[in-house]
Structure 1
Amino acid sequence: HNHGLSEILFTKKSVKPFNRARQISVRKGHEWQALLKRAISAIAPSEQGAGVSAVLNYQEMVLYRDSKDAVHLKKFNEAPSNIRVSGLLRENQIAAEISRQLEAEWAEANNGQFLFRTNSIDHGDIAFVFIDVKRRQTVFLTAPYNPEYSHSSGSNPAAYMARWFYRSGVLSMIKNPATTMYRFYWRLRHSAAVILTGNSSPGKSGYLPYRETTGMDIAEFESMLDRMFPKNLPYKGNVKFLIDGDSFFTRLIQSFNDAKKSIWLRTYIFDNDDYAVNIADILKRKSHDIKVRVLADHMGCMSAATSLPSSPVPAGFEFPRNIFDYLEKDSKIIARATTNPWFTADHTKTIIIDNNKAFIGGMNIGREYRYEWHDLMMDVKGPVVARLKKDFRNAWAHAGALGDLAYLFSGASTAAYDPENEPPELYNIRTLYTKAGATQILDAQLAAIRNAKGYIYIQNPYFTENRILNELILARARGVDVRVILPSTSKYGFMDSSNIIKTNIMLKNGIRVYQYPQVSHIKAAIYDGWACLGSANFDALSLRINLETNLAFSDPKAVQRLKEELFEKDFAVSREVTDPIKTTFMDYIGKMISSQL
């Protein structure tokens, strides 16, 4: 069943009707409500106390059946906490059921076409629903967005900048003097390294046909990593891949509701849009029963809070001026913001639940990650969770009032792990980091590229790192099947410029490049059966300067699932680039800027 979302536009200019236009009767709002009630009753979970997540017009809903067998459809933050939400109901499934409910009476309409009013006139809400039963098509028509409703995201950019300058330029020198100067040293060193690497090498003039090979010796490669990173030996664990907001946030909200002891959330961006505020409200309610800590990057939150979402927020929504204040108001949440000396950031995204479960990957907390962007998180269980919790504790201590001193003592502490609900199948998982003085994520992937014999699959939103590009060119020259997925747009013009220039170089050297049809924020790679994925982009900040965390593993079943669930599906929906992309002078200016980012 096809469905779409369109906005009603009004104009003072006369509009000529289409040649084949026909009049259609508009059915009243109570008829729509009755139809919707029949449809949701038919697709609601049959078990009492069970619910499914549903999305309508970028609004998170929960469809559930209560203890009295009554069916309800409510906003997810209004659903009772005892409802167990599992599964996802997509808009096309709802539209298909509505159409089925109409099939018995479709002959009474104009060739099976219906137009319903919904009695909603607020901007951005669904005002009309057009259904063509015969063609199996539904179009939700939203009321026009009122540009006078909000020109502001609720935050004052000047005030944010002043606060950021104080925290990162003054406060960080007071409470974190040692690490601030250490970051300054490595910031200068890495900036110089990026400049000295210069332009990418064109590589060899030719390349070999693809090899028929079993790939590199994974056991030997893992032993090499043990020698390279003796303090980062693998932990046992298990990962499940949660691709896109539908999968991740549904699982996250249920995990919040199920949490019995603690929720520790670490993110680069905790936005102040309507979806982030809904997540904040869940955490605020939960904080009265269990410990809830939120650690977010001040610069990341500042950049998000001073810009409007790309899609209109619900009518009447008010943006909090400061998400940290909002989280702590009327709750027992303890929220901390990291400092950003020398424009460094904590780009890691990890969430630890009850000492036995973690989420890690590329998604921040905000509307675009829930509804709009292609992204990935991992649901992690097993002893590796203890390592991620220890990392959180170290970052939490460093962001506190005692700064470097607390950070020093936190390094000697251990993190508890609760084996409750531990999966039976565990395998080795290695944590890799970027931080001042350590470029493990870069070094490990360079080693993987050099050792690859069969194939290399990469998906990343930002590609500026010349050393990785050069090694990929050399790998392709050896006959390795190298494929790279980049987004059709990254929403940042100068980063798009770098992606375009890198694409042309890769095409010249026989590397297959694909453009994903929307914004993709995924950071994942497979090298002959060794996978590495997490928060790190292929840019200077992520690979050399920022705080980043990736997970790496070579379990054959886990790697095969990543290959099938992510790469094979994304290769299929992406457009392969076969001809060089036209570049302009501004693209090379953008590349120069992005090389330091």
Structure 2
Amino acid sequence: MNSITPSPVPDEPLRPLNREGAIPPPARAPLPVANVDGFAPSDSLAADPGKLRAGTSLQLIIDGKNAFPELFQSLRGARKEIVMEYFLVKDGQITRELADILATKVKEGVKVRFLYDWFGSRKFDDSIIRQIAASGVEVVRHGGILGKGLPQSDHRKLTVIDGQTAFTGGINLGDHYIEQYHDVMIKIGGPVVADLHASFAENWQQATGEQLAPIPAPAPEGTYTTEVLATDPERHPFKKALFQAVDTATSSIAVEMAYITDDTLIDKLIAASGRGVDVRLIVPEKGDESLIQGLHRLSYDRLVRGGVKVFLFPDRMAHTKVAVVDSRWAVVGSTNGTHRALNTNDELSLAVHDPRFAQELQTRLLAVDERQAIPVTEAYLTSHPIPRGERLKARLTEMFDFLL
């Protein structure tokens, strides 16, 4: 068990991971006959039709400056339990305020459990982790080595409060998400919250050996139908759902991702464009991981030459991971379009089977970001060639893309 206490934390070796004793999801909630304008959710776009949940409420929150106040307000209202799972926890204004909130909740008798990834926070001073643990929060480091000797990361971003309200998306716990990074979070209510809690409980059990009791599914709060896509090394529901959506798209695909380098996904997007689908991709002009920046450039070179409309989001790091297909299916979460994200990491995304939410993502996020972005044409590629050294580095990186 990798629990953190106020005393110094020993440097423990990363141990092999296993997923025995997984907690089953709660029973399926009934699906509506139709959501809006005669639209009914399609099982064909579900990774697992048995995990479609009706009665979901959703609030799309764009950027950390708006997301953190909403998250903190909900945390302050907690009465029984808070569970949190984050890839990156960085000391600063945001995490200090969070630490104060959690300390207050512990004093009020709220049970607080906190998972953080071993890899995501490796570069940072762990003083904020120790501060959170010192207040009585049960803090556990998660992640380790897979059976093949490959490192595994928990890239999820999740908070569940009193088993009633959840937050997930791409926003980590750090001040750079206030202004420097562009990302989204969704606030969630309804029966699907039980599935999100179950995804946390499974990783908590893996990290600690403690099996948390499944929570009852909350009452319906909204009219959306959703599906939790919890990826791990053995299960790849996000990949299955996204690939199905792309393969069956008939009119449009819009994707905004921090990184998209997976060959299969790239090929599928190019194939969709080739059959007449309007495929648009927004990526950051400059990423936050220099190791794969060149590989990312090679990827969108392929996409542009394959007919995909690519746009570079300027000024801030576009850390978003969203997709909308045929204006009726959407996904938001932590999952990038890389081999590791699709196959190896622990990732968490929420698929929404409803044209209303798809339209909201299009209007409030994708269309706004595309207007700000730089179109990447073949002329742009010609006038902005990759320097030979960077191209060589990218080709070498490409040989190990399964690690990225």
TM range (shorter): 0.7 to 0.9
Whichever residue aligns with residue 247 of structure 1, its letter is: N
Q: How does 1:586-597 map to 2 (within 5 A)?
A: 586-597=393-404
2:297 is paired with a residue whose SS is: helix
Whichever residue aligns with residue 130 of structure 2, its letter is: D
1:339 counterpart residue number: 143
Whichever residue aligns with residue 586 of structure 1, its letter is: K
Contact 1:459 1:524 survives alignment (8 Å) = yes
Whichever residue aligns with residue 233 of structure 2, its letter is: A
Alignment partner of 1:570 is 2:373 = no
2:284 counterpart residue number: 487
Q: 1:473 aligns with which of 225, 249, 270?
A: 270
Q: Distance in 2 between matches of 1:360 and 1:179?
A: 22
1:380 counterpart residue number: 188
1:525 is paired with a residue whose SS is: strand
TM-score using structure 1 length: 0.58
Contact 1:494 1:593 survives alignment (8 Å) = no
1:370 counterpart residue number: 178
Q: Mark the CA change 1:429 to 1:561 in structure 2 (over 3 Å): closer, same or farther.
A: same
Q: Distance in 1 between matches of 2:102 and 2:358?
A: 33
Deviations 1:262-321 (A, max 9, x none): 221111112123432232122112221122221111221213x16xxxxxxxxxxxxxx4
Whichever residue aligns with residue 122 of structure 2, its letter is: M
2:117 counterpart residue number: 297
Contact 1:293 1:335 survives alignment (8 Å) = yes
Q: 1:326 aligns with which of 126, 131, 146?
A: 131
2:296 counterpart residue number: 499
Q: Distance in 1 between matches of 2:339 and 2:56?
A: 30
Q: Mark the CA change 1:378 to 1:431 in structure 2 (over 3 Å): closer, same or farther.
A: same
Q: Distance in 2 between matches of 1:230 and 1:525?
A: 19
Q: 1:560 aligns with which of 359, 363, 369?
A: 359
Q: Distance in 2 between matches of 1:343 and 1:488?
A: 28
Alignment partner of 1:438 is 2:235 = yes
Deviation for aligned residue 1:586: 2.5
Q: 1:262 aligns with which of 73, 81, 92?
A: 81
Runs of 4+ deviating beyond 4 Å? none
Deviation for aligned residue 1:506: 1.3
Deviations 1:500-537 (A, max 9, x none): 11111111122110000120110000011211121101
Q: Mark the CA change 1:343 to 1:293 in structure 2 (over 3 Å): closer, same or farther.
A: same
1:346 is paired with a residue whose SS is: coil
2:106 counterpart residue number: 287
Deviation for aligned residue 1:348: 1.1
Q: Distance in 1 between matches of 2:296 and 2:118?
A: 27
Q: Mark the CA change 1:395 to 1:301 in structure 2 (over 3 Å): closer, same or farther.
A: same
Contact 1:514 1:571 survives alignment (8 Å) = yes
Contact 1:218 1:554 survives alignment (8 Å) = no
Deviation for aligned residue 1:582: 1.1
Higher RCO (CA < 8 A, seq sep 6+):
2
Q: Distance in 2 between matches of 1:592 and 1:494?
A: 13
2:31 counterpart residue number: none
Q: Mark the CA change 1:179 to 1:417 in structure 2 (over 3 Å): closer, same or farther.
A: closer
Q: Distance in 2 between matches of 1:269 and 1:511?
A: 32
Deviation for aligned residue 1:218: 7.6
Q: Distance in 1 between matches of 2:13 and 2:394?
A: 34
Q: 1:414 aligns with which of 202, 209, 214?
A: 214
Q: Mark the CA change 1:554 to 1:179 in structure 2 (over 3 Å): closer, same or farther.
A: closer
Q: Distance in 2 between matches of 1:390 and 1:179?
A: 13
Deviation for aligned residue 1:588: 2.3
Q: 2:259 aligns with which of 431, 449, 462?
A: 462
2:178 is paired with a residue whose SS is: helix
Contact 2:95 2:128 survives alignment (8 Å) = no
Alignment partner of 1:530 is 2:329 = yes
Q: Percent of counterpart pairs with the same letter?
A: 27
Q: 2:206 aligns with which of 375, 398, 418?
A: 398
Q: Distance in 2 between matches of 1:387 and 1:235?
A: 12
Deviation for aligned residue 1:225: 4.0
Q: Distance in 2 between matches of 1:439 and 1:390?
A: 16
Q: Distance in 2 between matches of 1:167 and 1:360?
A: 29
2:187 is paired with a residue whose SS is: strand
Contact 1:262 1:291 survives alignment (8 Å) = yes
Q: Distance in 2 between matches of 1:243 and 1:495?
A: 26
2:92 counterpart residue number: 273
1:327 is paired with a residue whose SS is: helix
Deviation for aligned residue 1:380: 0.5
Higher Cα radius of gyration: 1
Q: Distance in 2 between matches of 1:344 and 1:229?
A: 24
Computed over aligned residues only, the root mean square deviation of the Cα atoms, in angstroms, reads: 2.3
Deviation for aligned residue 1:261: 2.3
1:416 is paired with a residue whose SS is: coil
Where do 5+ consecutive residues of structure 2 fail to align? 1-7, 21-37
Q: How does 1:143-292 map to 2 (within 5 A)?
A: 163=11, 166-168=12-14, 172-173=15-16, 178-179=18-19, 222-226=42-46, 229-289=48-108, 290-292=110-112
Q: Distance in 1 between matches of 2:290 and 2:167?
A: 30
Deviations 1:442-465 (A, max 9, x none): 121111111001010000011110
Contact 2:45 2:245 survives alignment (8 Å) = no
Contact 1:276 1:366 survives alignment (8 Å) = yes
Deviation for aligned residue 1:575: 1.0
Whichever residue aligns with residue 500 of structure 1, its letter is: R
Deviation for aligned residue 1:223: 2.0
Whichever residue aligns with residue 327 of structure 1, its letter is: I
Deviation for aligned residue 1:378: 0.3
Where do 5+ consecutive residues of structure 1 fail to align? 1-158, 181-216, 307-320
Q: Mark the CA change 1:471 to 1:218 in structure 2 (over 3 Å): closer, same or farther.
A: farther
Q: Distance in 2 between matches of 1:390 and 1:511?
A: 37
1:450 is paired with a residue whose SS is: helix
